[in-house]
Structure formats: structure tokens, C-alpha cells
Amino acid sequence: MKKTTYKIYTLGCKVNQYDSAKLSSQIQSVGFELVKKNADYAFVNTCAVTKKAITKDRAMIKRAQKENPDAKIILFGCFPKVYKEEAQKLDADYVFKTNEINKIIKTLAKDIKQQKALLSKDDRARYFIKIQDGCEQFCTYCIIPYARGKIKSRGEAEILSEIKLAIKNGYKEIILSGIHLGLYGKGKNINLTKLIKKIIKLYGLGRLRLSSIEVGEVSDELIKLMVKSEKICKHLHIPLQAGCDKILKLMNRPYSLKYYENKIKKVKKFIPDIAISTDVIAGFPGETEKDFLETYNFIKKINFSRLHVFPFSLHEKTSASKLPNKIDKTIKQVRAKKLRSLGKNLEKIYIDKLKNKKLEVIIENRRGKRKGKTEYYFDIKFKKSQIIYGEPKIRNLIKIQN
């Protein structure tokens, strides 16, 4: 008997990637088969963080229809959550919001007796696990609190069980992800660092990485744990968004430049070679050339290992949409280009400092010239002869050569 086939198209953040992997696991557990095209069901996991993201949602739906002409289209994620009426008008057979994977499963297979979160088998190198959802920060530019709702944390036992299963299935790196990861356990007798302490004790764990954490949640306890444990990647992604106090205040970001700088200094004092990447928005309303230059210089001063740059995208459901002094599109693009150029230079400087050092690499591609991700978050291509030693297919020490 021919199996029912499916394909999933994912846009947006790592939490969306996790949701898609979870959905993939569950529908495989009830007999669905993953295919590259001409699927019976095509799922589009949407993002609504910017207008550009929404445009991509619409384009992805058309792509899904083109690649799977006879498929039923299932739309889910943040776009239907924020724009329910608009989503209902799109050419989709089913529409679901965030956190409605169980409803999707029940719609596809009403005879399911047991829901099991098995693992997607697409990638055996790095496994993203969502441990927390929701955000209550309400940064003025961000739609996420409206799309994801209040902070919710998964149970500790459930998380540990899923990670054990990931390890058993051959995953070498576990990435803890969430919308506001640092507030995992809010309102419960657990926090992120306590959870990490339990995870790194799991038998067979390769290494552990945090996807993103706010500067105010980089606690002394977390820093000490990162120093102590070789299992935790020496990399933190700490969003900055702007290097100007005036703009940070307009964004409703809960820190000052001085606070941010002092925290980074403390982290680097204890972990000198740590990689610190960040997000930055170019052209926020009210950002003058002087403000932009302040951001540019602050980024140089902090000496990040990598930048993720986003031109400001106005979202009508956020309070930033009501701010005066909007920045011209061309100016935003110019500023974003300058920041991306700076980011490339900073990344090169950081990687060059690690030349001739032994690096731990998770191999993600074994065909031809090997490719892997270092604990410092940058990718590296290498030859078999560069491998010094390591557990086969788990972790390898590679020496970067000049």
C-alpha cells in the first residue's frame, strides 16, 4: 500500500525549525513518508516577524503549490496567529496557529491513539530542541509577543527525555532554543542553568549550545558553568539591536550600553576566546547618522565574532509603527550594508586568532571535502588528514591551517 507523502516548508527562527521537526516526527510516526516534491500534503510553517517575512510566506505558499500540484496545503505558524483573517483568505486547505501541532495531527489522522514526539531523521549532526516559548518583553519593533503569547516552559523531565532520545538516535550537538530562552523556568522551581547542569551529565552527550540569550540573563552562575564544562560550546549569541542608548530606549530594550559592555567584559575575562555573536537593526525610526555611527563604533569596540544584520521592517501591529522620523529605505539599506561589511571583517579577525589551534568540530558533511561546525559557531572545511583525533562520527579535533 502506497504511503501518504508530505513535505514541510519552514520560514523564520529556530523555534519554527523545531516545530517543523516535531511535526515531521509525529506524522512519520503515523505512517507518512517525507518526499522532495509531488507530496500529498504540503505544510508551510510561517513567520510574521517583519513585512518581508510575510511576503516570503506568501511566496512559499505559491512554491509549495507549484512543487506539489495535487497536494493539500496546510498553513501554520505565526502568520495565522497574528493575521487570522488574512491567513484564512489564502489558498490553503487548512490553517493552524502556533502551538497547534496536535490539532494538525488529529486533522490528518483522527484515529491516532498516542502522540509521540519522535525525532526527525533528516539530520543526525545537530538537534534543535525547543524548551521555552513566548515572550513578555514587548520590544517596540517586535510582533513575537503577540504571535507566541506569554512565557511557557516545558517540563524538565520531558526535555531530558527528548535529549536522551536525540543522543540515542545519533545527534552530536544539542541546541537549546526558545523565544526568550534565558527565562526558561520562570515561575517554576527551575532555571536555565539548573537545567543545563542536568543535561551535561547525560551519558553520550557530544556538546551543548544555547541558541540565543539576552544579556541580562547571562548570569554569573552560567558563566562559571561554561568555564567548568567542556560540554558547553564557548559561544553565546547575545542580541544587541542598537549600539546607541537613545535607540535602545525607543526599542524598549531593558539594558544600557554600559551594562551590555560590562557584561561582555566579564564573560571574556573568564572565557577569553569565547565567540560572541549578535543581532543588530539598521535604520530604526529616529536613528540619525550620529546614532548609526555610535552603533557602528560600539560594535567595533565589543569586537563581536559575527553579526546578524536586519534593516528595520515596520510592522503595523507594533508600537514602533507609530514612532515619528521613519528612515528612508535607501538609507536603511546603506547602513545595513556597512554593518554587514563590518561583520565580515570582525568574523575574519576572530577566526584568524584561532589559526593553528585545535578546534572541536561536529562533522555535518562527509562527502568530498569534509565540512563541520566548530564550538565557536563558524563553519570549517577540512581534509581527513587534518583530523588529529576524535570519537568516530561524534567529535573531532581539527587544526586550522594557515
Average pLDDT, the chain: 87
**Mean pLDDT (whole number) for 225-251:** 97
User: Please, which pLDDT band fits residue 360 given cuts at 50, 70 and 90?
Assistant: confident
Backbone CA torsion sign across 76, 80, 81, 82 = positive
Q: How far, in Å, CA of 361 to CA of 230, rounded?
A: 13
Which one has a higher pLDDT value, 99 or 80? 80
The percentage of the chain sitting over the pLDDT mark of 70, rounded to a whole number, equals: 89
Domain boundaries, the chain: 5-108, 126-352, 358-399
User: Please, which pLDDT band fits residue 391 given cuts at 50, 70 and 90?
Assistant: very low
Give the per-residue pLDDT at 109.
61
Judge whether residue 129 has pLDDT over 70: yes
Give the per-residue pLDDT at 388.
54
pLDDT tens digits, one per residue of 135-167: 999 999 999 888 888 999 999 988 998 999 888
| Least confident among 89-98, 213-222, 250-259 | 89-98
Assess contact for 285 and 245: CB atoms under 8 A. Answer: no
Which one has a higher pLDDT value, 386 or 138? 138
CA 368 → CA 100, 126, 371, 373, distances in Å?
41, 20, 9, 16
Judge whether residue 128 has pLDDT over 60: yes
C-alpha cell at 306: 559575527
In the CATH hierarchy, which top-level class contains the domain 5-108?
alpha beta
Could you please state the CATH topology (level 3) that the domain comprising 126-352 is classified under: pyruvate-formate lyase- activating enzyme (3.80.30)
Assess contact for 182 and 215: CB atoms under 8 A. Answer: no
Angle, CA of 142, 378 and 339, to the nearest 5°: 50
Judge whether residue 266 has pLDDT over 70: yes
Q: How far, in Å, CA of 125 to CA of 122, rounded?
A: 9
**Mean pLDDT (whole number) for 168-175:** 89
Spatial CA neighbour of 401 closest among 359, 362, 345: 359
Instruction: Tell me which range, 7-16, 53-62, 114-123, 293-302, is most confidently predicted by mean pLDDT.
Output: 293-302
Q: Side by side, which strands form the sheet with 41-46?
A: 33-34, 5-10, 41-46, 72-77, 94-95
Bridge partner residues of 398 (DSSP): 359, 387
Judge whether residue 299 has pLDDT over 60: yes
Spatial CA neighbour of 301 closest among 258, 336, 340: 258
Which one has a higher pLDDT value, 24 or 4? 24
Angle, CA of 25, 30 and 36, to the nearest 5°: 60
**Mean pLDDT (whole number) for 109-135:** 61
Give the per-residue pLDDT at 97.
84
Q: How far, in Å, CA of 402 to CA of 398, rounded?
A: 13
Judge whether residue 123 has pLDDT over 50: no
Give the per-residue pLDDT at 258.
98
Torsion angle of the four alpha carbons 179, 181, 183, 187, in this order, in degrees rounded to the nearest 10 = 80
Give the per-residue pLDDT at 205.
93
Tell me the backbone φ, ψ of residue 334, rounded to 5 degrees: -65, -45
Q: Side by side, which strands form the sheet with 207-210?
A: 152-153, 126-133, 173-178, 207-210
pLDDT tens digits, one per residue of 27-45: 887 778 899 989 988 999 9
**Mean pLDDT (whole number) for 190-201:** 96
Assess contact for 350 and 307: CB atoms under 8 A. Answer: no
Q: How far, in Å, CA of 215 to CA of 377, rounded?
A: 18
C-alpha cell at 132: 521555552
Question: pTM (2 decimals)?
Answer: 0.77
Assess contact for 51 and 83: CB atoms under 8 A. Answer: no
At residue 381, the 3 state secondary structure works out as strand
Q: How far, in Å, CA of 184 to CA of 192, rounded?
A: 5
